[in-house]
């Protein structure tokens, strides 16, 4: 059917008993009582009829993802959907077929021959790209796949473009920037996708329906009903397009950065829908966060070497030492994680002081210094980095340390005369023994992290607020 025929589809839906409330939903209200929630429920019910998922929550995910394709330009980012399975015959292609019948301007891309082709498909509007057999089509070992994956990765945010050669008069060629933004769903048997692609994706795991628990997708019979449901979904999302663009729902704790970018669009739609949908999307987000954490704990997430170095460095740092020689840190790293830093590492050689310094300089902008003639590193230099990477140091503490370091850079007094600057109450913290952080001191290298933590505890205990004036002591 080339064009949508509302009367014909209504008759088909009525004949097959798809709805029973007598509402056709073609007035722009979104169907039923006019709520997006009910349309999403209808889409979820549709998927439940034909798709067997390993978790019922994934039906909510499929419904929200299909809905978001109509308002992707309003959500700024669009998560990639990975339809995964451990073996063939699990229904991945079936899900893609249903997405093709329900999503906005779908285009089946069984095989992508070039990044330019993908950019040209998305040139006019952000169409929904459906890619099957990505375990073969997007195998990183396949020539030319790197460029395709780069386009797919960049296109998850609005405004992404790719330069494409286009013919001009006279037989010449010119470069034109073409958009790459658009929703993408990919299906494959345990596809070997790069980590940066997976970090932009939401995964649905499918398994074979061995006992016939779902209906067969006989499109000759169900296509009219699918077309009707698609129109309901289109009108429902069009009616709330502006609201979606303005929506900024709260997300579960820990849903930040890339996680926020990929779940934000679905959360916006759930927030607009109301009813059970905000709780549904929060459940999906919490599940994804837990799975990501479990993969990190099991060592399944491949972190960049610089991040692993910082992570291991936090674990091996000698307790209570504010400055450690480079050679000692390197030796401790090799002992702690020989597979990463020892002779058996993928690098082929054990970590050296020179490579250690180079990795810290390039990966964290942390540089060594000298103390008593020995070259090494101050713990305070890493606190901000550890905090920002969520490695056991709070961001507040990291920011406080950074403030103290900035103040020290402007401070021309070394405090070695024992004056300690101000005579107010915090001055006693310079020599007081704190039960947790030990002696809080100020040296020629600035205030120690222990001292900073003690200042914070002083404040939290209800004492007069402590601040760090430029060139002076905490007051």
* Alpha helices (runs of H) in 69-169, residue ranges in sequence order: 72-75, 92-102, 115-121, 134-137, 145-154
Q: Fold identical between 6-297 and 304-393?
A: no
Q: Indicate whether this model's pTM tops 0.75.
A: no
CATH fold of 6-297 reads: Rossmann fold (3.40.50)
Q: Please give the structure tokens belonging to residue 226.
A: 């699918």
Residue with tokens 């470069």: 175
- CA dihedral (289, 291, 297, 300) in degrees, to 10, reads -120
CATH topology of domain 304-393: Arc Repressor Mutant, subunit A (1.10.10)
Closest CA to 188 of 275, 111, 284, 274: 111
Q: What angle do CA 74, 78, 80 make, to 5 degrees?
A: 165
Domain boundaries, the chain: 6-297, 304-393, 412-475
pLDDT tens by residue, the chain, 475 residues: 334 454 454 455 445 444 434 444 343 333 333 489 999 999 999 999 999 999 999 999 999 999 999 999 999 999 999 999 878 889 999 999 999 999 999 988 766 666 677 777 777 778 999 999 887 777 767 777 777 788 888 888 988 887 777 778 888 888 888 888 999 999 988 777 887 888 899 999 998 998 889 999 999 999 999 999 999 999 999 999 999 999 999 999 999 989 999 999 999 999 999 999 999 999 999 999 999 888 776 654 567 788 889 989 999 999 889 999 999 999 999 999 998 899 888 788 899 999 999 999 988 899 999 998 899 999 999 988 888 777 754 444 434 444 433 333 333 333 333 334 333 333 333 333 444 444 444 443 444 445 555 555 554 555 444 343 333 444 4
**Cβ-based neighbour number of residue 278 at 10 Å:** 16
User: Mutual orientation of helices 257-273 and 277-297 as an angle, nearest 10°?
Assistant: 160
């Amino acid at each position: 059917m080339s064009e949508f025929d509302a009367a014909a589809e209504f008759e088909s839906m009525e004949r097959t008993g798809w709805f029973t409330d007598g509402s056709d939903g073609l007035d722009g209200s979104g169907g039923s009582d006019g709520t997006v929630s009910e349309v999403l429920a209808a889409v979820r019910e549709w998927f439940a009829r034909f798709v067997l998922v390993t978790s019922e929550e994934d039906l909510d995910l499929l419904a929200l993802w299909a809905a978001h394709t109509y308002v992707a330009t309003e959500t700024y980012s669009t998560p990639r959907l990975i339809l995964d399975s451990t073996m063939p015959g699990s229904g991945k292609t079936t899900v893609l077929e249903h997405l093709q019948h329900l999503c906005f301007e779908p285009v089946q891309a069984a095989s992508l021959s070039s990044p330019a082709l993908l950019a040209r498909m998305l040139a006019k509007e952000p169409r929904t790209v459906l890619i099957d057999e990505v375990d073969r089509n997007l195998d990183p070992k396949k020539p030319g796949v790197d460029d395709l994956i780069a386009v797919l990765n960049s296109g998850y945010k609005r405004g992404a473009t790719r330069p494409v050669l286009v013919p001009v008069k006279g037989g010449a060629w010119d470069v034109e920037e073409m958009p790459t933004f658009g929703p993408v769903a990919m299906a494959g048997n345990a596809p070997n996708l790069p980590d940066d692609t997976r970090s932009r994706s939401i995964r649905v795991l499918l398994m074979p329906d061995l006992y016939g628990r779902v209906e067969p997708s006989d499109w000759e019979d169900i296509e009219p009903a699918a077309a009707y449901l698609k129109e309901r979904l289109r009108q429902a999302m069009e009616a709330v397009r502006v609201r979606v663009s303005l929506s900024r729902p709260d997300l579960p704790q820990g849903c930040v950065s890339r996680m926020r970018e990929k779940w934000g669009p679905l959360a916006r739609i759930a927030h607009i829908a109301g009813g059970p949908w905000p709780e549904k999307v929060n459940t999906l987000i919490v599940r994804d966060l837990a799975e990501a954490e479990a993969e990190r704990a099991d060592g399944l997430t491949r972190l960049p070497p610089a991040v692993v170095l910082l992570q291991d460095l936090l674990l091996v740092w000698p307790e209570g030492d504010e400055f450690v020689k480079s050679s000692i840190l390197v030796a401790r790293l090799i002992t702690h994680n020989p597979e990463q830093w020892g002779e058996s590492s993928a690098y082929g050689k054990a970590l050296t002081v020179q490579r250690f310094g180079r990795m810290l300089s390039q990966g964290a902008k942390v540089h060594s210094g000298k103390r008593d003639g020995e070259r090494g590193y101050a713990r305070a230099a890493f606190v901000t980095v550890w905090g920002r990477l969520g490695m056991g140091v709070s961001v507040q503490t990291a920011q406080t340390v950074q403030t103290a370091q900035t103040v020290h850079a402007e401070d021309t007094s070394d405090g070695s005369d024992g004056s300690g600057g101000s005579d107010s109450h915090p001055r006693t913290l310079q020599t007081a023994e704190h039960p947790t952080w030990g002696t809080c001191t100020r040296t020629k290298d600035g205030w120690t992290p222990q001292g900073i933590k003690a200042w914070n505890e002083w404040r939290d205990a209800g004492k007069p607020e402590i601040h760090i004036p430029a060139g002076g002591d905490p007051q």
